[in-house]
Amino acid sequence: MRINRIITGIVLGLIAVHPAFSQATRVKTNIDFDWYFHLGDIANGESAATDNSQWRRLDLPHDFSIEGSYQQTNPAANAFLPGGTGWYRKTIRWESAWKNKEVSIVFDGVYMNSEVWINGHYLGKRPNGCIGFKYDLTPYLKNGENAIAVKVDNSRVPSARWYTGSGIYRHVWLLITNPIHLAWQGSFVRTPQVNNSEAAIHLDAQIKNGSGSKTKVVVTSIIINKVGKEITRHTSEVSLDTGSTAIAQNFIVKNPALWSPETPVIYYLKTIIKKSGQVLDNYTTPFGIRKIEFSPAFGFRLNGKPTKFKGVCDHQDAPPVGAAMPEEVLYSRLKLLKAMGCNAIRTSHNPRSPEFYAMCDTMGFMVMDEAFDGWDHPKAKWDYGNYWKDWWKTDLEDFIKRDRNHPCVVIWSQGNEVPDYHKELNVQEQLYNVYHAMDSTRPVTQAWALDKYLDVAGFNANGEEKNALENFHKRYPDRPAIGTEIPHTRQTRGVYRTQTS
CATH at 149: 2.60.120.260
**What number is the average pLDDT over the span 99-119?**
98
DSSP label of 160: S
What pLDDT is attached to residue 469? 87
Is it the case that residue 8 has pLDDT exceeding 80? no
Indicate if 398 and 372 belong to the same structural domain.
yes
Residue, of 150 and 5, whose pLDDT is higher: 150
What pLDDT is attached to residue 465? 78
Residue 122 binned pLDDT confidence (cut-offs 50, 70, 90)? very high
What pLDDT is attached to residue 337? 97
Is it the case that residue 14 has pLDDT exceeding 70? no
Residue 419 binned pLDDT confidence (cut-offs 50, 70, 90)? confident
In a domain, 408, yes or no: yes
Nearest C-alpha neighbor of 205 from the set 252, 253, 233, 244? 244
Indicate if 185 and 172 belong to the same structural domain.
no
- pLDDT tens digit string along 71-86? 999 999 999 999 999 9
Indicate if 442 and 486 belong to the same structural domain.
yes
Indicate if 312 and 439 belong to the same structural domain.
yes
Residue 19 binned pLDDT confidence (cut-offs 50, 70, 90)? very low
Q: Domain ends where: 130, 149, 177?
A: 177
CATH number of the structural domain spanning residue 276: 2.60.40.10
Spatial separation of the C-alpha atoms in residues 358 and 322, rounded to whole Å: 21
Interhelix angle for 327-339 vs 354-363, to 10°? 30
CATH number of the structural domain spanning residue 481: 3.20.20.80
**What number is the average pLDDT over the span 42-66?**
96
In a domain, 297, yes or no: no
Torsion angle of the four alpha carbons 103, 108, 109, 110, in this order, in degrees rounded to the nearest 10: -30
Residues 498/473, Cβ–Cβ less than 8 Å = no
What pLDDT is attached to residue 2? 43
Residues 206/223, Cβ–Cβ less than 8 Å = no
Nearest C-alpha neighbor of 352 from the set 343, 361, 341? 361
Residue 425 binned pLDDT confidence (cut-offs 50, 70, 90)? low
Residue 15 binned pLDDT confidence (cut-offs 50, 70, 90)? very low
Spatial separation of the C-alpha atoms in residues 379 and 294, rounded to whole Å: 31
In a domain, 499, yes or no: no
φ, ψ for residue 316, nearest 5 deg: -90, -10
**What number is the average pLDDT over the span 78-102?**
96
What pLDDT is attached to residue 284? 97
What pLDDT is attached to residue 6? 39
In a domain, 201, yes or no: yes
Indicate if 318 and 404 belong to the same structural domain.
yes
Indicate if 460 and 322 belong to the same structural domain.
yes
In a domain, 496, yes or no: no
How many other CB atoms are found less than 10 A from the CB of residue 336? 10
Residue, of 498 and 271, whose pLDDT is higher: 271
**What number is the average pLDDT over the span 388-413?**
98
What pLDDT is attached to residue 449? 87
Could you write out the three-class secondary structure of 247-261?
Answer: EEEEEEEECCCCCCC
What pLDDT is attached to residue 398? 98
In a domain, 185, yes or no: yes
Q: Domain ends where: 142, 177, 212?
A: 177
**What number is the average pLDDT over the span 52-70?**
97
Interhelix angle for 354-363 vs 2-16, to 10°? 60
**What number is the average pLDDT over the span 120-131?**
98
Indicate if 327 and 446 belong to the same structural domain.
yes
- pLDDT tens digit string along 129-187? 999 999 999 999 999 999 999 999 999 999 999 999 999 999 999 999 999 999 999 99
In a domain, 15, yes or no: no
The mean pLDDT value of the chain amounts to: 92
Strand 305-306 relative to strand 299-302, pairing:
antiparallel
In our burial notation (b when 16+ CB lie closer than 10 A, e otherwise), range 339-360 reads eeebbbbbbbbbbbbbbbbbbb
In a domain, 377, yes or no: yes
- State what percent of residues in the chain have pLDDT above 90: 85
Q: Domain ends where: 177, 200, 233?
A: 177
Residue 4 binned pLDDT confidence (cut-offs 50, 70, 90)? very low
Indicate if 268 and 332 belong to the same structural domain.
no
Indicate if 111 and 186 belong to the same structural domain.
no
| Preceding peptide of 192 cis, ω within 30° | no
Is it the case that residue 47 has pLDDT exceeding 60? yes
Give me the number of domains the chain comprises: 3
What pLDDT is attached to residue 486? 83
Indicate if 106 and 207 belong to the same structural domain.
no
Residues 178/268, Cβ–Cβ less than 8 Å = no
Q: Which domain holds residue 446?
A: 308-490
What pLDDT is attached to residue 464? 76
Beginning with the edge strand found earlier in the chain, give each strand of the sheet holding 145-154 in spatial order: 56-58, 35-39, 84-93, 145-154, 114-118, 121-126
Residues 279/248, Cβ–Cβ less than 8 Å = no
- State what percent of residues in the chain have pLDDT above 70: 91
Indicate if 274 and 351 belong to the same structural domain.
no
Indicate if 137 and 235 belong to the same structural domain.
no
Handedness of CA 305, 308, 313, 315 (dihedral sign): negative
Q: So which residues are the catalytic ones?
A: 417, 485
Is it the case that residue 1 has pLDDT exceeding 50? no
